[in-house]
Every structure is written in C-alpha cells, then in structure tokens.
A and B are shown apart, each in its own frame.
Chain A
Amino acid sequence: MDLNYSQDELSFRDEVRSWLESNLPQDLRQKVADYAHLSKDDLVRWHKILAKQGWVAPAWPKEWGGTGWNVVQRYIFEEELGYVGAPPLIPFGLTMCAAVLLQFGTEAQKKKFLPRIYNCDDFWCQGYSEPGSGSDLASLKTRAVREKDSYVVNGQKIWTTLAHYADWIFCLVRTDSGEKRQEGISFLLIDMKTPGITVRPLILMDGAHEVNEVFFDDVKVPAENLVFQEGKGWTVAKYLLGYERMNTGRIGESKRQLAKLKAYAAPRMDDLRFRDRLSRLEVELMALEITNLRFLDRMRRSGQPPGADVSMLKIKGTEIQQGLTELMMQAADPAASDEFSESIRKRYLSMRKTTIYAGSNEIQRNIIAKMTLGL
C-alpha cells in the first residue's frame, strides 16, 4: 500500500500544472476566482485552448484525439484543472454525447460529430428531464414519430443546461408507447436550428440564466440522427449514467474552494464552532479523495468500468461542495454588501442544485441500495 503518487505520476502532474500556469488566460482565471458569470465565448475559448494542446478529451480513443492516459493520469488532469480554477469543460458534448457515439454511433455519425465536438465547433446540450419526468426519467413523454426518412418530434424538455448556447441537443424521446415503457425510448440528435424548437429561459433563485425549457413543435429530425436502434435509447442512457457519476466528485475544485475558504475565513478561526465545522469538512474531503483514489486503483487494476458504488462519490462530492459554499457564506461579514460577498451568497443559492442534478442524491442512494447492496 502506498498512498503517494509514483514518480511518473508526480512528473505528469507537474507537467500539467506548469502548462496550466502558462496557458490558462488570466482573465478567465480571475472570473472563475470571482465566481463571475462565464459567457459562451469564455467557455469556448478555454475549450479550444485545450483542444489545440490535444488535451480536451483525454478519455477518447487515440484515433479520435484521446491522449492515451490511464485512469489515474486522467484523474490527476481533472484534479489540476479544478485546482487551478479553470473554466469548466461543458460535459454534454465532450463526455456525454461523445461517449455515446463512441460506443453506439455509426462510423458516419462519429465522423460527422466527434471532430466538431473535439474543437467545440458545435456546442451541445442534454434533453433528458421533462416537466413530468425527473427522477422517473423513463416516464418521459416527448414523442418522435417516424415519417419516411425523418422523425417528427413533439414535446417539452426542462432544466436544459445551456440550451441557449447550444447548436445541438441529444434527446431521449418516446418512439413507442407500449407496455414496457423503457423499451419505447430512443436516443436522437437534434440540430437546435431546426424549425419548431423554442428555447425559453428558466431563471434560478440566484438570478442566473443557466437552464431552460426547450419546446419541440413538429420538429423534423433526419432518421440518420437516431443513435443505436429505435427503442434502445434506455440502454444508451444507462450506459451514460456511469460516465456521469465518475466525474462528480470534483475533488480538485473542492480543494481550491477549501484553500480559498481558509484564507477568507482566517479572521474567524478563533471561533471554535466555526473552526470545527471547517475541520470536519476538510476531513470529509480527505476521505472522499482517498476513496476516489481507491476506486481508481481498482479500475486501473481490474480494467473494469466503475461499479454502481461510485454513486457515493457523487453523494459525498456534492455534499462537500455545498458545505464549502455554506461555510463561505457564513464566513462573510453579514453586514457586507460588496460584490464578492454578494457573489458568495448567490453561490450558496446556486450550489443547492448539485445534490439534485445528474441523478438526485436520493436516486444515487436507490442505485447503491439496489445494485451494490442487493436490496
């Protein structure tokens, strides 16, 4: 047992770290540090810098632009991105749609979409949730009816993150309303410029426009944009779930927030009640980090994809993120109304979403209960 990174892993980390130091634009770094709004241009600019370096999609196969790094190197890379405070890489194209295409897409679909995802020529969003279908995703009602070479899509998606930036959306749609509802679902790629699509903003309690409602009104989608088989969308969605969960620990990001909190809250550290809450959170983060490394070590040795128990990384990771923002808000002077103090409070509001999105933490517990514990 050796909890330290090997010499090779350490030099890899140093290489990534020093590259980030000299290539992450200062203005973007400052915006992230200030919790300021990141525009589409900001997100795309950073994506393209990483793409140019060849580091934007480490997990992809090498032939499509992957780096060939092992799981530990990929983890180190992500951790360094979070730790330095780089703008987020929006996962809908890079990790989600790409993972699906690589596993289930045709050669033509891969050739058409993957290079444009790699270079962020297309900005993607994810059309899963509907007004009546949140945790119970398989109850979704947006319909796609086959008419010759097209599907005609009618319905509504909700909570669609960054749909207002998106060129494309991948959607779960109902192509059959038979007995077994999971079997009537299909996975469609839809061009957001298609007539009949309306995007309407949903403003969250922090005042930010991040999520949307997306309406489909007789939207004609070429049948070649179906991924895998008609009626097999649920298989695709389930495959994607595992991918989504492995990345939600956000340990590098939380480490940065912790360091920031410690500096920011330094004047409050003689308040033992506050100090102990901070220490417990730090210990929680240490435990999460080691647990994450244990999972990675297991994956590296077994060569197997993560099991259902990685759901605990999502549960713990998001609880820690929320705990950090809450303590940060409490560290702020309650009488202060300067921009930074206000942004800390808004961040507290905003971060409540983390335990709800990407499969609520209750759904994650259901998954562990069923898949890992056999209940």
Chain B
Amino acid sequence: MNFDYSEEQQLLADSVRRLLQKDYGFEARKKMVASKEGYSPEVWAKFAEMGLTALPLPSDYGGFGGGAVDLMGVMDAFGEALVVEPLVPTLVGALLVAKGGSSELKQAILPAVAEGRMKLALAHGELGARYQLSAIKTKASGTKLEGAKSAVLGAPMADRLIVSTHGGGLFVVDAKNVKQEPFTTLDQMRAADLMLQAVEGIPLRGGLALIEEAVDFATALACAEAAGAMKFACDTTLEYLKTRKQFGVPIGTFQALQHRIVDLYIAQEQARSMACLACSKVDSSENPADRARAVSAAKIKIADNARLISQEAVQLHGGMGMSEELKISHTFRRLTVLAQQYGDADHHLERFASL
C-alpha cells in the first residue's frame, strides 16, 4: 500500500503545474476560450513536448506505456486551472486505436498523436441514449456509417473520430468527412453534433467491452480532474472566508460557515480518495467487473461531492460567486459538467448495484 506518486509522476505533475501557472492564468485562459479554435495550439504543443500526449500510448508506437495513475497529477492540475485542451478525448481515442486497431492503423495514428500532431475524439453519445453505452443507433453497413452523434467533446479540433455503432462496432473516420455543428459547452469546451452520411470508416476490434474500458479510463481521469477542481474550489472559498469582512469581522469567524467549509474539505478528501481508487483500478484490475465497480463507486462520490462543493463554494462567495469575473463561477461550471460526464450519480448507482 502506497499513495505516493513515483518520482517521475511527481516531476511531471510539478512541471505541468508550473506551465499552467505561467501560461494558463485566468485571463490567458479567457482569451483561449474566446479564440476561434477554442483552445491554445501553443499550449497543446507544450503538452506534447512534455509527453502528455504520449504518456498512456504503447511504447512500440512512440508512447510511454503509462496509465491512469501516471496521469492523475496532470489531471489534478488541469482541474485546478480549468484546462480546455482536448487531452482526454485524444487519449481515449488513442486507447481505442491501440487496443482495437490493426498495426497499420496504429502506425498511422499513434505516433502522430504521441507527437501532438493529431487529435482524436470519441463520437459515441447520441440524443436519447443518456449514458447507456449499448443504446447506440448509428448503423454500419459494411464500413459505411450512417447516423447522428451528439455533443462529441473535442470533435471540432479532432483529426480523426472514433465512431461507435449499434451492437458495439467501432470505426475510425477522418473528421473531414463528417458534417459538424460545433458549439461551446456549459464549461467552455468545444464540442459538436455530427451527421454521418455514408461515411467510410476503418473498423476496430473490441466491441462493447472495449468501449466500456475506454469510457472507464476517461471516467477515472475525469474523477482526478474533478478532485483538482474541488481542491481549488475549497481553497479559494477558504481564502474568501478569511478575507471577506462583514459585521466588522472576517466571515470565517462565524461557526455556521466554519462547519460548512469543513464539510467541503472532508468531501474534497473523500473525492480524492475515490479518484485514487478509480485510477488505480483502471490500471491494475484484471477483471473488468472489478474495474467497473470501482469506477462507478468513484463517479458516484465525485458526482455527489462535485455538486456539494461547487454549490456551496458559490453560496459562500455570496454575490461574487455568481459573477463571471471570478474563477469560482467557471470552476462551478466545470464541476457541474464533470458531475454528469460519462454518467451522473444515478447512472453509476444503477451500474454499481448491477455489478
């Protein structure tokens, strides 16, 4: 038993944190979000330089063969800084290609991803499917795909899309061949609705089990990211309680508020513990049911606590918490989305109980 990061993991997390402190301040981030691309290609290039895009890829294809735990510290820092670059969609896509692709396909995609030259997105969700991985209607006739995908995170900047089809099929398609309706999500990420009309895809092996594995990987990373965002929300709220004065004293001297912030810190620690569990089980579980159970348990806790912490953080900031100008309102939006992404608490309660 050991909860430490390895030296490499710690070094990576530290350097990502340093980079974000330098280049990813709240004001700088605003510009990236408002830009045409909706993210910063320069920051993306730096992420690639640091090895983030290569980290969990197989070493035969330019990667480092890492796992979710290796990315935990990175995601933690992403959650704090509210990073909008599409690292998770790209890495999830890469995992699907690495596990299900032919060696030619892997050769064509993975080294480019590792070097930061290619971005991917998982085109899976559909209107009405909620979070059910199996409720997909997009049809494959041979390798021709027909259907509609909704709210595909990272699709507008992706070079290749991994498209799921009815029955658990997976295909890699060229993003240029897909009609997109891009939009900005509640938490200022770029996503798109996709129309697939006789789009040619390259099939991946693996089916529903592989989709489950990839989504569990993404969920574990979302948990780690949420832990970072929750930590920020708690820290900044604590700071506010210590500095904001009313009735002649800092409002943090009021016991009613002290007990509430204590509960937020406890919730934050509990969430962090569950993020450790999810990432570690994603990496080490030999049995998919063990992995799924741990990930769902983690997501239940993360969803519940993200909601608690984000709502209370805004409440304890008073009117300032509602303001667009304060970062906490953006953290609120990210935590709201993270609580639902890859399944909300209700979805994971159902899955947890069925395992």
Contacts and interface: CB of A to CB of B under 8 A. Distances in A.
Interface of A: 1-6, 9, 72, 269, 275-276, 279-280, 282-284, 286-288, 290-291, 293-294, 296-298, 301, 309, 312, 315-316, 362, 365-366, 368-369, 372-375
Interface of B: 1-6, 9, 69, 72, 238, 241-242, 252-253, 255, 258-259, 261-263, 265-266, 269-271, 273-274, 276-277, 279-281, 284, 297, 300-301, 304, 346, 349, 352-353
A229 B266 CA distance: 37
7 contacts: A1-B69, A276-B349, A280-B349, A309-B269, A366-B259, A368-B265, A369-B258
B258 A1 contact: no
A372 B274 contact: no
B349 A286 contact: no
A368 B279 CA distance: 28
B277 A279 contact: no
B352 A279 contact: yes
B300 A280 contact: yes
Contacts, number: 115
A366 B280 CA distance: 33
B265 A375 contact: no
Given A287-B270, A287-B301, A1 B242 contact: no
Contacts of A287: 270-271, 273-274, 301
Contacts of B72: 1
A4 B1 contact: yes
Given A4-B284, A72-B1, A286-B297, A375 B258 contact: yes
Given A1-B276, A279-B349, A283-B301, A369 B242 contact: no
**Residue of B1, B253, B349 most packed against chain A (CB within 10 A):** B1
A3 B258 contact: no
B304 A280 contact: yes
Contacts of A368: 262, 265-266
B298 to A, nearest CB: 8
Nearest to B72: A1
A252 B274 CA distance: 18
Chain B binding surface, main DSSP class: helix
Nearest to B254: A375
Contacts of B280: 1-3
A334 B353 CA distance: 25
B258 A365 contact: yes
Contact of B252 (A286, A365, A375): A375
B265 A291 contact: no
B1 A373 contact: no
Contacts of A269: 353
A1 B259 CA distance: 32
Given A284-B270, A288-B270, 7 more contacts: A1-B2, A2-B1, A275-B353, A283-B297, A291-B270, A309-B269, A312-B266
Contacts of B241: 375
Given A280-B349, A375-B242, A294 B258 contact: no
A312 B273 CA distance: 13
B259 A315 contact: no
B297 A373 contact: no
Contact of B300 (A4, A283, A312, A374): A283
A287 B261 CA distance: 19
Given A276-B349, A279-B349, A365-B259, A290 B304 contact: no
Contacts of B271: 287
Contacts of A5: 1
B348 to A, nearest CB: 9
A286 B263 CA distance: 18
Contacts of B274: 283, 286-287, 290
Contact of A279 (B3, B252, B262, B300): B300
B277 A290 contact: yes
B1 A362 contact: no
Contacts of B270: 284, 287-288, 291, 316
Contacts of B301: 283-284, 286-287
A375 B234 CA distance: 13
Contact of B1 (A3, A280, A372): A3
